[in-house]
Amino acid sequence: MHRLVIAAAAALTIVGGAAFAQETIKFGYIDPLSGGGASVGEGGLKTFQYLADEINAKGGILGRKIEILPLDNKTNPQESLVQAQKAIDAGARFITQGNGSSVAAALSDFVTKNNTRNPGKEVLYFNYAAVDPSLTNEKCSYWHFRWDASSDIKMEALTSYMKDIAAIKKVYLINQDYSFGQSVRADARKMLGAKRPDIQIVGDELHPLLKITDFSPYVAKIKASGADSVVTGNWGQDIALLLKAAADAGLKVNWYTYYAGGAGGPTAIKQTGLDHQVFQITEGFANSGHQPAMDFEKAFRAKVNMSLWYPRAVNEMRMFKAAAEKANSLDPVKVAAALEDLKFEVLDGGEGVMRKDDHQFFQPIYISSFGKLAANEPFDEEGTGWGWHLVSKVDTSKTMVPTTCKMTRP
């Protein structure tokens, strides 16, 4: 009798296991698919679907195909938790999100609690774009991995570039009023103050996130301040509208941005006629000159009809595959362990590493400017005929910032 039970149980496990093996890997994509952040959320979704197709075409991960579950969080932390639970209920053990650090903080917290309460059913949270430094410092979690450079890493690189430009004398800061915007503003003040104490901060604006329809009043203020440069972490419609209002008013300043390349941004820059006066800081861009990245860009554009905004999403998915194969398992606990200190050749060339201490990915960082294309730059943006041009590259080793993270390990 006893043997029979064991045999039956074993048989069931095998049958169950076989059924399980055929199942897809459910990968929850939680980002705004409506509201002011929808343009970036949709772009991200198309990117992840493309990446999943790419992996699936090569046989998937450990023989299983990836399926992206699109979940609309309306850039709202509360709604995100509902969507995360939906993803888990649908069988997802891996979720990804990027837009909005307030959302990211809520999700990181949610996943951590979920994993404590449901041992054996852990969920990993892959963050591809929420760059609030606190996520890998005081609020760090073992279950959260970030592929984008945090805003202090980006600001470190950006200010290192700005400090050598003598023409910068008066800087205006304009940011979205939430955790990320506030950290951009604080980092900019601190780092510019340390590297170029002679630079004057002539304005420090916070405005509501994704709620402004016309930035003309803000542009009037920037103009009145006499600023020669603007530093902004704005994303989504906020950066497009800000640039558009600046274009209308004929505001001639240099722009130092995190996300001017998002939907609508390039079109607005072209309208301003600010040839190579808008700078963006990224982990890669279309005209980086690295052949595999440019081949990827070409294939991506041909199929998805947009430019690749998120080279880090490529790194994220490919590293997910690499980690799962290294661990020879799709168990989130084992994948997480395999990701720690994993070194990886990034899309735009050069080696990146997922730091064990805080689960922040470090990679080469680029500063590029937007304007007329040179002969060896094949990619324009949004049909403007203008594109991104390499200004400065910061190697991985020079982007390493210290962390205060003390994570509880399982």
Partner 1 sequence: MLELIVISTLNGLLFGMLLFLLSSGLTVIFSMMGVLNFAHASFYMLGAFFGYQLTKWIGFWPALLLAPLLVGAIGMAVERYGLRNTHKHGHVAELLLTFGLAFAIEEIVAMMWGRSPVDYRVPALLDFPAFTIFSTNYPAYKIFMLAVSILIFVVLLMVLKRTRVGLIVQAALTHPHMVGHLGHNVGRIFMLVFGVGSALAGIAGVIAGPALVTQSDMAAALGPILFVVIVFGGLGSLPGAFIASLVIGLIQTFAVALNGSLASAFGPLDPSAGPSVLTDIWNVTIAQVAPIVPYLLLVIILIVRPMGLMGTRET
Site for partner 1 in 42-61 (CB under 8 A): 42-43
Binding of residue 230 to partner 1 (CB under 8 A): no
Q: What is the dihedral sign for C-alpha 370, 373, 376, 377?
A: positive
Rounded Cα–Cα distance for residues 339 and 143 (Å): 11
User: Which residue among 83, 96, 232, 237 contacts partner 1 (CB under 8 A)?
Assistant: 237
Q: Which is nearer to partner 1, 210 or 337 (CB)?
A: 210
User: Which residue among 223, 301, 318, 356 contacts partner 1 (CB under 8 A)?
Assistant: 223
Binding of residue 200 to partner 1 (CB under 8 A): no
Binding of residue 351 to partner 1 (CB under 8 A): no
Binding of residue 289 to partner 1 (CB under 8 A): no
User: Which residue among 207, 312, 321, 359 contacts partner 1 (CB under 8 A)?
Assistant: 207
Of 237, 208, 155, 201, the C-alpha closest to 401 is 155
Residue 210: CB minimum distance to partner 1, A: 9
User: Which residue among 216, 277, 329, 392 contacts partner 1 (CB under 8 A)?
Assistant: 216
User: Which residue among 68, 106, 240, 339 contacts partner 1 (CB under 8 A)?
Assistant: 240
Q: Which is nearer to partner 1, 208 or 378 (CB)?
A: 208
Binding of residue 243 to partner 1 (CB under 8 A): no
Binding of residue 211 to partner 1 (CB under 8 A): yes
Residue 16: CB minimum distance to partner 1, A: 40
User: Which residue among 201, 206, 373, 407 contacts partner 1 (CB under 8 A)?
Assistant: 206
Give rounded-to-5 percent helix, strand, coil for the chain: 45, 20, 35
Rounded Cα–Cα distance for residues 105 and 134 (Å): 9
Residue 350 has φ and ψ, to the nearest 5°, of 100, 160
Q: Which is nearer to partner 1, 43 or 284 (CB)?
A: 43
User: Which residue among 68, 95, 168, 212 contacts partner 1 (CB under 8 A)?
Assistant: 212
Residue 72: CB minimum distance to partner 1, A: 10
In sequence order, the 6+-apart residues with CB closer than 8 A to the CB of 13 are: none
Q: Which residues pair with 351 in a beta bridge?
A: 345
User: Which residue among 59, 91, 250, 410 contacts partner 1 (CB under 8 A)?
Assistant: 250
Rounded Cα–Cα distance for residues 169 and 229 (Å): 8
Binding of residue 208 to partner 1 (CB under 8 A): yes
Binding of residue 267 to partner 1 (CB under 8 A): yes
How would you class 78 by CB atoms within 10 Å of its CB: exposed for 0-12, middle for 13-18, buried for 19 or more? exposed
Binding of residue 228 to partner 1 (CB under 8 A): no
* Residue 23: count of CB within 10 angstroms of its CB: 11
Per DSSP, the chain holds a count of helices (H) and strands (E) of: 12, 15
Question: What 8-state DSSP symbol labels residue 396?
Answer: G
Which three-class secondary structure state does DSSP give residue 175? Answer: strand
Q: Which is nearer to partner 1, 216 or 392 (CB)?
A: 216
Q: For partner 1, how many residues bind (rule: CB under 8 A)?
A: 37
Residue 245: CB minimum distance to partner 1, A: 9
Nearest-10 Cα torsion for 114, 117, 120, 121: -30
In sequence order, the 6+-apart residues with CB closer than 8 A to the CB of 188 are: 155, 159, 171, 173, 201, 231
Residue 66, CA atoms < 13 Å, CB-side half-sphere: 29
Residue 115 contacts residue 84 (beta carbons within 8 Å): no
Q: Where does this chain bind partner 1 (CB under 8 A)?
A: 33-36, 38-39, 41-43, 177, 205-208, 211-214, 216-218, 220-221, 223-224, 237, 240-241, 244, 248-251, 263-264, 267, 382
